[in-house]
Chains A and B, each alone.
Chain A
C-alpha cells in the first residue's frame, strides 16, 4: 500500500509517485510539490471526523510539502496552514486533479 518508488507514473509531475488513474488517487501517492483537491475522506469514524474538521473537505486544495527522512509522515499545506499525517491516514484522503502548484 502507498508509497512505492520505481513504478510507472500516471501524471507528468517529476517527483510524483502517483501510479493510479490520473482522475483520482490517494493523498499519500502524491509526490513532493504536488497539489490536488479533496474528493472524499475515508477511514474509521474518529479519524475521518478529525480530518474533515481539520479542513479536508469541500474540495480543498492540498499540497505535499515534504516527507520525513524515513518517508513517513508527510507534511501537507491546506487552507493556509501546515499539517502532517502518516501514510496510514493520508491514504484515506482521495484527491483529484493532481498538478504541481
Chain B
C-alpha cells in the first residue's frame, strides 16, 4: 500500500512540545475510571464551543518526567455516526476541532468482557493512522465470565502495545503510563472486503494518487497537490472513506469536487450492480476481521495458567454452568414484568422524595443563611439604595442561585449512581413504551420526574438523552410539570377562594393542576415531534451494560463538577436577573413628601385593635412597646405597598392591566406576576406587599383576608365586584400551571441549548399557550355564570 504523503502537521500539535493524549472507548468500558486514575485531581471540565458536549481534560506526569495533556473523549461506538458526542470524538481525533490539538497518542479503552463490539472502534481508530495504545480493561469481569483474553496475542495481532487493566482497582495504570512512550501506528489491516469492493477501492485509490501527483507537478511540487485531502495513511484508506459515504469535515471538500464525486458515484453504481453496498460491506469486513482477531486473542485456560494470570472459574461462585452472570440474576428481578416495576417505582419514589422534601430543609437553611449574612453585613448601614441593593438585590440573588444547589447535587448524585451502576439504561427500557407514545425516549422519564420537584435539575438531567431532537422536546415540556415553587401559590389560591368547597374538592383542584400540566406536556410533545422536531422516529438502540458497583470517588466528582458548572454558568445569569428584578421593584423611589402622606393615611386608617390597643392591654411597658412596634409595622407595610406600586414593576403591572384584564386579572395580580418571575413562590410575598399585609409563604392568613375583602373601586367598570372570584382563581391557577415565568429555568435552558433561541421560544410558546387557555377558561366561565 502506498504511504502517507499529503499530511500536514497540525500547528496546535507541536504546541510547547508537550504530548496530547486522547482517551477513546465505547460507553461503559471504564474509560472515565482510567482517566481519573491517570490524571488524579488535575482535571478541567469545560464545553466544546458550540455544542453541549463536555470537554474533559487532565494533566498527566509521564514516567520520563514530562507532562502530557489527556483528553477524555465522550464514549462512542463508532467514529462515523451522527450524535454530537460522536461528532466531537471524531473531530478531536482527526484534529478538526479548533483550539483542541490533534492527539499525538490515542489510548483506546477496550472492555475485555465485551471484546468484539469494543474492537470495532479499535478497527476504526487503526484507520486514523495515529499512534495507538490499547488499554484492555475489565480483565476481572471477563475472567469471571470465563472469557480469557490474552493481551500478548491481541497485541501481536494488532501490532500495537496492549496493556491488561482492572481500572477500578488501579491495576495496570503504571504499565499504561510506561507504554505511552512505545505507542506506535498500527499496521493497516487487510480488511476482508468483497472482491469487487476491493477492486473499486484500489481503482479509486490509484486515481487519487495520480491526481495528487498531477496537482503537485502543476504547482511545481510546492503545493499540497490533492486539494482538500486530509492527512491519510494511504490513498486506499482515503478511497475507502469516500466510498462508504464518510462525509466528516476533513473529507467533505475532497468528496465535493466534481471529478472525485463522479468517480465515487460510478464506483458505487458498479458495486450496486454486484449487490454490494459499500457502507455495509465495510462494516461486515471490519467485523469479519474482528471475529478472527477475537478468536486468536482468546487464550485457553491452560495457556493462561502457565502465565499465572488465571482466576479459577469454580472459585467465583456466581458463574453458573449455563453462563448466567450476576447481571442476569439481578435482571431476573429488576427487569421482571411485575417485580421490575415494583423496584423501579421504589427507586423513583426515593429519588423524588429526596429531591422534593429532603432537599427542602437544606434549601431553606441555605437561603436563610445567605439572607442572614446580608443582614449582618449591612447592619451598620443606614437605610437607602445601597442597603436595599445588598439585602434585596445581591444577597437575594445569591440566595436565588445557591437555593438550587441541594436539589442539583442530590439529583446528580442519584443520576451518577444510576448511570454508573447500569440501572439508568434499565429504567429507560422499562419506561420507553410509555414515553414513545408521545414521541419521547425512555431516558426522558427521570428528567420529567425530577421536574416535579424543580425544572432546573430536571432540564440538566436531559443530558443523558443522546438524540438532539428528543432531548430538546424533553427540555421544552419539562417546565409543565408542576414544580415545588408552584405549591405555595396553589395553596394560597385554593385556600383563599375555595375554602367553602371542602377538603376533598380542594384536593381535587390541586390534583387537577398537576394533571393539567402533564396533559399540556403530552400534547405539546406530540405537536413538537410532529412539526419542527420532526424526523425519522428516533431509534432506540440502547446497550444494557452489566451491573457494576458505583465508585464513590467517581460519583463525588460527577456531583461536584455538575454543581460547580451550574453555579458558574447558569448561576451568573440567575444572579444578574435577580439584581435587575430588584432594581425594577425598587426604582423609581417615592418622593419624601408622598411617604409622609402615605404614613399619615395609614395612621388614620389603622384598625381599632391597633389604635386603641393600649386600652385593652395591661399598661406594662413591654406591652406598650409591642403595640408601638405593631403600629409601626402597619405603617411600614403601607409605605412598602405604595413604594412597590410606584416602582417600574408596579407601573408595569398597571400597564399590563388591559392585557391581562380579559383573563380576569387586575393590576395587583400583574405586579405579582412580575415578582413571580424571580421564582413562582415570590408571587405570594409580592401579593403580600401589594396588599400591604406583609406575610410570607408560610403564614398567609392576613393575605387571604385582604384578597377576599378586595373589591374593584369606584370608576372601574367592575366597581363593587369581588376582585378574587373563584373563576379568577381558576384562571390564575391555569396560568401558574402553564406559563413560563421562571428566569432560572430560562437561564438553564440557555445553558443547556447553548443559545438564547430555545429559552426565548419557551417563553413565548408557554406564555402564549397559558394566555389563550386562561382567556378561554375565564371568558367561557363568565358566560356560564352570567
Chain A residues engaging chain B, CB cutoff 8 angstroms: 41, 44-55, 57-58, 60, 65-66, 68-73, 75, 79-86, 88-89
Task: Tell yes or no: B283 within 8 A of A by CB.
Answer: yes
Within B281-318, which residues are at the interface with A (CB < 8 Å)?
Answer: 283-284, 287-288, 291
Known: A69-B340, A72-B432, A79-B117. A58 touches B291 (CB 8 A): yes
Contact string against A for B residues 417-460, beta-carbon threshold 8 Å, 1 for contact and 0 otherwise: 00000000100011011101000001000000000000000000
| Interface residue stretch chosen among B95-103, B532-540, B776-784 | B532-540
9 example contacts (A-B, Cβ-Cβ < 8 A) are as follows A50-B81, A55-B287, A60-B287, A66-B335, A79-B117, A80-B113, A80-B115, A84-B429, A85-B540
B120 at the interface (CB under 8 A from A): yes
Taking a contact as CB atoms under 8 Å apart, the answer to whether A55 and B117 are in contact is yes
CB distance from A72 to the nearest CB of B (A): 5
The 7 closest A-B pairs by CB, nearest first: A70-B433, A82-B544, A86-B540, A52-B283, A79-B116, A81-B114, A47-B539
Which of A47, A82, A88 has the most C-beta atoms of chain B within 10 angstroms of its own C-beta? A82
**How far is it, in angstroms, between the C-alpha of A58 and the C-alpha of B537 when the chains are bound?**
27
Question: Given the complex, which residues of B lie within 8 Å of A46, measured CB to CB?
Answer: 81-82, 536, 539
CB distance from A80 to the nearest CB of B (A): 6
B251 to chain A: which residues have CB within 8 Å? none
Report which of A69, A71, A89 forms a contact with B539, defined as CB distance below 8 A.
A89
**Do the beta carbons of B77 and A84 come within 8 Å of each other?**
no
Q: Is B714's beta carbon under 8 Å from chain A?
A: no
Q: Nearest Cβ in chain A — how far from B108, in angstroms?
A: 15
Return chain B residues, CB-CB under 8 Å to A41.
Answer: 280
Q: Is the CB of A71 within 8 A of B433?
A: yes
Chain B 478-501 against A: per-residue CB contact (8 Å), 1 yes, 0 no? 000000000000000000000000
Interface residues of B, dominant DSSP: helix
Q: Cβ of B81 and Cβ of A73 under 8 Å apart?
A: no
Contacts of A50 in B (CB 8 A): 77-78, 81, 539, 541
Across the interface, which residues of B come within 8 angstroms of A69, CB to CB? 337-338, 340-341, 430, 433
Q: Would you list which residues of chain B between 311 and 351 have a CB under 8 Å from chain A?
A: 327, 331, 335, 337-338, 340-341
A68-B540 in contact given A57-B280, A79-B116, A86-B436 (Cβ < 8 Å)? no
Q: Are B539 and A80 in contact (CB under 8 A)?
A: no
Q: Do the beta carbons of A54 and B541 come within 8 Å of each other? A: yes
In this assembly, does B656 line the interface, its C-beta being within 8 Å of a C-beta of chain A? no
Across-interface contacts of B78 in A (CB, < 8 A): 49-50, 53
Which chain A residues lie closer than 8 Å to B542 at the CB level? 73, 83-85
Q: A55-B120, A57-B280 are in contact. Are A68 and B539 (CB under 8 A)?
A: no
Whether A75 lies near B543 (C-beta < 8 A) is: no
A51 touches B541 (CB 8 A): yes
B433 CB contact (under 8 Å) in A51, A57, A72, A80: A72
The answer for the CA separation of A31 and B491 in the assembled complex, in Å, is 51
Q: Please provide the chain B residues from 394 to 425 with a CB less than 8 Å away from any CB of chain A in the complex.
A: 425
Q: Are B114 and A80 in contact (CB under 8 A)?
A: yes
What's the nearest-Cβ distance from chain B to residue A20, in Å?
A: 23
Is the Cβ of A49 less than 8 Å from the Cβ of B283? yes
The distance in angstroms between the C-alpha atoms of A51 and B145, with both chains bound, is: 25
- A70 to B437: give the CA distance in the assembly, Å: 12
Chain B proximity of A65: nearest CB distance (Å): 8
A85 to B542, CA, bound (A): 7
A55-B117, A68-B430 as given contacts; A83 in contact with B541, CB under 8 Å:
yes
> Whole-angstrom distance from the CB of B681 to the nearest CB of chain A?
37
Cα(A55)–Cα(B596), bound, Å? 81
Residues facing A in B64-112 (CB within 8 A) are 77-78, 80-82
Cβ contacts B111-143/A at 8 Å (1 or 0 each):
001111100100000000000000000000000
Contact of A48 with B280 in the complex, beta carbons under 8 Å = yes
> Which of A45, A52, A54, A81 interacts with B284 by CB under 8 Å?
A52
B526 contacts partner chain A, Cβ-Cβ < 8 Å: no
**For the complex, what is the distance from the CA of A84 to the CA of B234, rounded to whole Å?**
37
B181 within 8 A of A: no
